[in-house]
């Protein structure tokens, strides 16, 4: 058995790329044994890591981000679930999983990054420079190393589907465009009630940039506050795979 190689066209050669040795004890084809790549660094120099599960040769590209706000970390457990044995069974889709794009915020238990910027207001689509406080958008679009790392990865991989986890609303946010049926499917499988996202004011968000710039089916899952139980984590992992299947 050999470790699957990434297709050359998708290699992140031009991006800061560091392969890390396999995790001891896992078999060579186990997702946990696959190398992860560092796609960038936070303000404080913490690595932002991506790990692929599923079928790296599949044309269907899926991004799953456990958190962008550092105090909303339950999505990390969904990412862990996808990277575990469950992820081994994913067929026909290439999942790129990121635990957090805001490692400084997670370390500090804080929504924003170490510059005090809300990374989910720092993307260019609909960027609003007047936002401050918890929604501080930063001095200009992509002013932060973390949002630039997402930008580089997205431009290279051109994801078909992107699921971003937040807390604590306890809702699957259904976009008002053609991707609504995918979010509704997610809501059904995860049993996290759907709510229309059209009215949510989120200028400069990651999903709006991915949708408008690349046509990605991108939506937010607002997990409930507090700690999810194991059954919920499993349902959310299953829901991402169910939505990916719709796109095949
Ligand atoms: Zn959030």
Q: Whole-prediction pTM value?
A: 0.87
Distance from residue 167's CA to the centre of ligand 1 (Å)? 6
Question: Does 79 reside within a domain?
Answer: yes
Give residue 48 CA to ligand 1 midpoint distance, Å: 18
pLDDT digits 0-9 by tens, 202-242: 899 999 999 999 999 999 999 999 999 999 999 999 999 99
* CA–centroid distance, residue 68 to ligand 1 (Å): 7
- For residue 169, being part of any structural domain is answered with yes
Strand order in the sheet with 47-54: 36-41, 47-54, 94-98, 61-65, 161-166, 217-224, 169-174, 194-196
Q: How many whole angstroms separate alpha carbon 22 and alpha carbon 28?
A: 8
Q: How far is the CA of 74 from the centre of ligand 1 (A)?
A: 11
- The Cα angle at residue 52 between residues 46 and 53, in degrees rounded to 5: 135
- Interval 133-186: pLDDT, tens: 999 999 999 999 999 999 999 999 999 999 999 999 999 999 988 889 999 999
DSSP code of 149?
A: H
In this prediction, residue 177 carries a pLDDT of 84
Residue 14 within a domain: no
In a domain, 45, yes or no: no
* Residue ranges making up the domain that contains 140: 65-247
pLDDT given at position 14? 39
Tell me how far the alpha carbon of residue 143 lies from the centroid of ligand 1, in angstroms.
19
Cα(23) to centroid(ligand 1), Å: 30
State the pLDDT at residue 42. 98
> In this structure, what CATH number is given to the domain that contains residue 140?
3.40.630.10
Whether residue 4 is contained in a domain is answered as no
> 62 C-alpha vs ligand 1 centroid, how far in Å?
20
43-74: pLDDT as tens digits: 999 999 999 999 999 999 999 999 999 999 99
Whether residue 78 is predicted with pLDDT greater than 70 in this model: the reply is yes
Is 46 part of a structural domain of the chain?
no
Q: Based on the number of CB atoms within 10 Å of its own CB, is 238 exposed (0-12), middle (13-18) or buried (19 or more)?
A: middle
Tell how far the Cα of 69 is from the centroid of ligand 1, in angstroms: 5
Q: Is the pLDDT of residue 2 over 70?
A: no
- Range with the lowest mean pLDDT among 5-14, 27-36, 176-185? 5-14
Question: Separation of 236 CA from ligand 1 center, angstroms?
Answer: 17
208 CA to middle of ligand 1, Å?
A: 14
How far from the centroid of its chain's Cα atoms is residue 221's Cα? Answer: 11
Structural domain count, the chain: 1
Position 100 scores a pLDDT of 98
Between the CA of 19 and the centroid of ligand 1 the distance, in Å, is 29
Range with the lowest mean pLDDT among 6-15, 36-45, 73-82, 86-95? Answer: 6-15
Q: What number of H helices and E strands is found in the chain?
A: 7, 8
The CA 37 to ligand 1 mean position distance, Å, reads: 24
Average pLDDT (111-130) is 97
Q: 205 in a domain, yes or no? A: yes
Å from CA of 234 to ligand 1 middle: 21
Q: What is the whole-number distance in angstroms between the Cα of residue 71 and the centre of ligand 1?
A: 8
* Residues ≥6 apart with Cβ < 8 Å to 215: none
User: What pLDDT score does 225 carry?
Assistant: 98
Is residue 34 assigned to a domain? no
Which pLDDT score is estimated for 27?
44
Q: How far is the CA of 88 from the centre of ligand 1 (A)?
A: 29
Distance in Å, CA 25 to ligand 1 centroid: 35
């Amino acid at each position: 058995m050999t470790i699957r190689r990434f297709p050359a066209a998708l290699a992140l050669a031009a991006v800061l790329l560091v392969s890390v040795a396999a995790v001891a004890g896992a078999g060579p084809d186990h997702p946990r044994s696959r190398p992860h790549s560092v796609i960038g660094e936070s303000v404080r120099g913490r690595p932002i890591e991506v790990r692929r599960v599923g079928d790296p040769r599949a044309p269907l590209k899926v991004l799953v981000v456990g958190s962008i706000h550092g105090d909303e970390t339950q999505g990390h457990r969904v990412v862990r679930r996808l990277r575990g044995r469950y992820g081994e069974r994913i067929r026909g889709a290439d999942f790129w999983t990121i635990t957090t794009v805001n490692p400084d915020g997670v370390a500090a238990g804080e929504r924003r990054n170490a510059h005090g910027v809300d990374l989910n207001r720092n993307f260019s689509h609909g960027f609003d420079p007047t936002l401050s406080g918890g929604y501080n958008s930063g001095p200009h679009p992509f002013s932060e190393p973390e949002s630039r790392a997402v930008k580089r990865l997205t431009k290279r991989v051109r994801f078909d589907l992107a699921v971003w986890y937040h807390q604590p609303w306890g809702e699957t946010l259904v976009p008002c465009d053609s991707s609504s049926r995918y979010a509704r499917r997610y809501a059904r499988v995860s049993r996290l009630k759907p709510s229309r996202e059209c009215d949510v004011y989120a200028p400069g968000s990651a999903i709006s940039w991915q949708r408008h710039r690349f046509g990605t089916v991108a939506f937010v899952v607002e997990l409930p506050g507090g700690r999810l139980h194991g059954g919920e984590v499993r349902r959310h992992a299953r829901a991402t795979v169910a939505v990916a299947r719709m796109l095949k």
